[in-house]
């Protein structure tokens, strides 16, 4: 590890999406992390847990922003993180770094990460200022990086506010499923775009899968008192899509939005078994207690686990839940461990 990172990992980062200390290992209850992503490595029996820093790390007066990875063998004790990609000073986006995902594809590892720029976009009336935001894809020969960009800017449309891109391969064809943000279109959507075989560029135009308001359980963020940049907006949030094929071949999408009172996780089901749907929404969310951005992985002992961040604001922690595969849907069976956030300090949410 470089001297820069040894110095900076010891610094508390009160406005970051992830907060770390210098200690060799920490219990996950001590670690603030938003949008956690877990990559199991069966060969080493190590789980890689990816998160981001968004501000607060400085070297020679220059702010550093990066994607970081923790390692853990039991999901409870996490080794101090190391950077897998640092946003270059001349990069198109240096405002925020969100939602890293790392996928193995054709024997290499691909990082999908949401980045925001200061560059503004035309803003529809009644919307917050639109800025350039998109998911960029990078590649490395190891899950520890270093990752390098493979395209020219984000692989999502350059004039969209897009986020939370995720890899999906169907019939041998790679796609990216992602969100089109409510700040630009009021009713956030989930969209899909085909990628080139090397994942470096989109092929064709995105296709709509469904809108956030299609979920019967979803509520307008303004109606339940949620503010954005101090204002109340009429909007439906699309966030954190994750695709999963169940034991009987059913294709599900887990996703997040505001539920009746708090942030929640819902489930959609493809009637055709294809990512192109049509998608039918489950009437009730599977998680309602102010947490979201789900993803699923299988433990080394064969359990299906969902990880989310919870709560959705201020003291985010990774929480793990063993899931029951019912074929047509999923159910939360039990929590793996418990998180005590009493030692956490509040931090502002940026969404």
pLDDT per position as a tens digit, 255-303: 999 998 899 999 999 999 999 999 999 999 999 999 999 999 999 999 9
**Per-residue CA distances from 315 to 2, 48, 309 (Å):** 29, 21, 9
Which pLDDT score, from 0 to 100, does residue 225 have?
Answer: 84
Cis peptide before 130 (omega within 30 of 0): no
Identify the band that residue 340 occupies on the pLDDT scale cut at 50, 70 and 90: low
Query: With 60 as the cut, is the pLDDT of residue 161 above it?
Result: yes
Which carries the bigger pLDDT value, residue 206 or residue 29? 206
Q: What percent of the chain has pLDDT over 90?
A: 76
Give, for 294, the enclosing helix (H) or strand (E): strand 292-298
C-alpha span between 187 and 181 (Å, rounded): 8
Same structural domain for residues 201 and 234?
A: no
* Contact indicator for 264, 256 with CB cutoff of 8 Å: yes
Identify the band that residue 21 occupies on the pLDDT scale cut at 50, 70 and 90: very low
Same structural domain for residues 184 and 280?
A: no
What are 116's two structure tokens? 């925001």
Same structural domain for residues 231 and 278?
A: yes
Q: Which residues pair with 340 in a beta bridge?
A: none
Q: Give the residue-averaged pLDDT of 325-346.
A: 75
Residue 84's closest CA among 44, 140, 42? 140
The parent domain of residue 206 ranges over 92-214
- Least confident window among 5-19, 65-79, 197-211, 271-285: 5-19
Phi, psi of 185 (to 5 degrees): -125, 5
C-alpha span between 235 and 222 (Å, rounded): 7
Identify the band that residue 10 occupies on the pLDDT scale cut at 50, 70 and 90: very low
- With 0-12 / 13-18 / 19 or more C-beta atoms within 10 angstroms meaning exposed / middle / buried, residue 179 is buried
Residue 184's closest CA among 131, 116, 259? 131
C-alpha span between 97 and 204 (Å, rounded): 26
Residue 306's closest CA among 234, 253, 260? 253
Same structural domain for residues 115 and 21?
A: no
Where is the domain boundary, 214, 239, 272?
214
Q: State the chain's mean pLDDT as an integer.
A: 88
C-alpha span between 190 and 179 (Å, rounded): 5
Same structural domain for residues 245 and 323?
A: yes
Same structural domain for residues 4 and 72?
A: yes
Which pLDDT score, from 0 to 100, does residue 302 have?
Answer: 96
Same structural domain for residues 274 and 344?
A: yes
Number of H-type helices and E-type strands within the chain = 2, 26
Identify the band that residue 62 occupies on the pLDDT scale cut at 50, 70 and 90: low
C-alpha span between 126 and 130 (Å, rounded): 11
Same structural domain for residues 323 and 262?
A: yes
Which carries the bigger pLDDT value, residue 13 or residue 98? 98
Q: Give the residue-averaged pLDDT of 121-150.
A: 96
Which pLDDT score, from 0 to 100, does residue 23 have?
Answer: 53
Identify the band that residue 22 occupies on the pLDDT scale cut at 50, 70 and 90: very low
How many other CB atoms are found less than 10 A from the CB of residue 308?
25
- With 0-12 / 13-18 / 19 or more C-beta atoms within 10 angstroms meaning exposed / middle / buried, residue 322 is middle
What are 157's two structure tokens? 């449309």
Which carries the bigger pLDDT value, residue 15 or residue 280? 280
Q: Give the residue-averaged pLDDT of 190-209.
A: 98
Where is the domain boundary, 214, 242, 263?
214
Same structural domain for residues 110 and 205?
A: yes
* Contact indicator for 60, 16 with CB cutoff of 8 Å: no
Q: Give the residue-averaged pLDDT of 173-185.
A: 97
Cis peptide before 208 (omega within 30 of 0): no
Same structural domain for residues 112 and 67?
A: no
C-alpha span between 69 and 318 (Å, rounded): 14
- With 0-12 / 13-18 / 19 or more C-beta atoms within 10 angstroms meaning exposed / middle / buried, residue 346 is exposed
User: Based on the structure, what is the number of domains in the chain?
Assistant: 3
Query: What is the largest distance, in Å, between two alpha-carbon atoms of the chain?
Result: 55
* Contact indicator for 341, 30 with CB cutoff of 8 Å: no
Same structural domain for residues 267 and 318?
A: yes
Where is the domain boundary, 214, 241, 274?
214
Query: With 70 as the cut, is the pLDDT of residue 345 above it?
Result: no
Q: What CATH number did the domain enclosing 268 receive?
A: 2.115.10.20
Q: Give the residue-averaged pLDDT of 134-163.
A: 96
Same structural domain for residues 230 and 339?
A: yes
How many other CB atoms are found less than 10 A from the CB of residue 298?
12
């Amino acid at each position: 590890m470089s001297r820069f990172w040894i110095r900076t990992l010891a610094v508390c980062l009160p406005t970051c999406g992830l907060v770390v200390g210098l200690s060799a290992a920490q219990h996950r209850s001590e670690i603030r992390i938003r949008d956690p992503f877990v990559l199991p490595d069966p060969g080493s029996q190590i789980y890689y847990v990816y998160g981001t820093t968004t501000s607060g790390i400085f070297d020679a007066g220059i702010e550093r922003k990066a994607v970081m990875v923790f390692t853990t063998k039991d999901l409870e004790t996490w080794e101090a993180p190391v950077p897998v990609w640092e946003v270059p000073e001349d990069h198109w986006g240096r405002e925020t770094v969100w939602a890293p995902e790392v996928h193995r594809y054709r024997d290499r590892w691909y990082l999908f990460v949401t980045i925001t720029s200061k560059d503004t976009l035309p803003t529809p009336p009644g919307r917050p200022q639109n800025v350039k935001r998109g998911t960029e894809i990078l590649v490395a020969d190891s899950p520890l990086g270093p990752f390098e960009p493979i395209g020219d800017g984000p692989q999502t449309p350059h004039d969209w506010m897009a986020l939370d891109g995720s890899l999906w391969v169907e019939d041998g064809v790679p796609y990216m499923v992602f969100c089109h943000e409510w700040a630009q279109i009021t009713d956030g959507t989930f969209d899909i775009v085909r990628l080139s075989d090397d994942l470096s560029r989109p092929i064709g135009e995105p296709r709509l899968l469904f809108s956030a308001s299609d979920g019967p359980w979803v509520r307008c963020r303004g109606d339940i008192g949620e503010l954005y940049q101090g204002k109340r907006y009429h909007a439906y949030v699309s966030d954190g899509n994750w695709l999963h094929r169940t034991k009987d071949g059913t294709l599900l999408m887990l996703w997040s939005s505001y539920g009746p009172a708090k942030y929640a996780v819902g489930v959609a089901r493809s009637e055709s078994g294809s990512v192109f749907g049509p998608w039918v929404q489950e009437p009730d969310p599977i998680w309602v207690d102010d947490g979201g951005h789900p993803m699923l992985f299988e433990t080394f002992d064969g359990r299906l686990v969902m990880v989310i961040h919870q709560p959705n604001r201020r003291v985010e922690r990774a929480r793990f839940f063993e899931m029951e595969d019912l074929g047509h849907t999923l159910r939360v069976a039990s929590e793996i461990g418990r998180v005590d956030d009493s030692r956490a300090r509040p931090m502002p949410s940026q969404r």
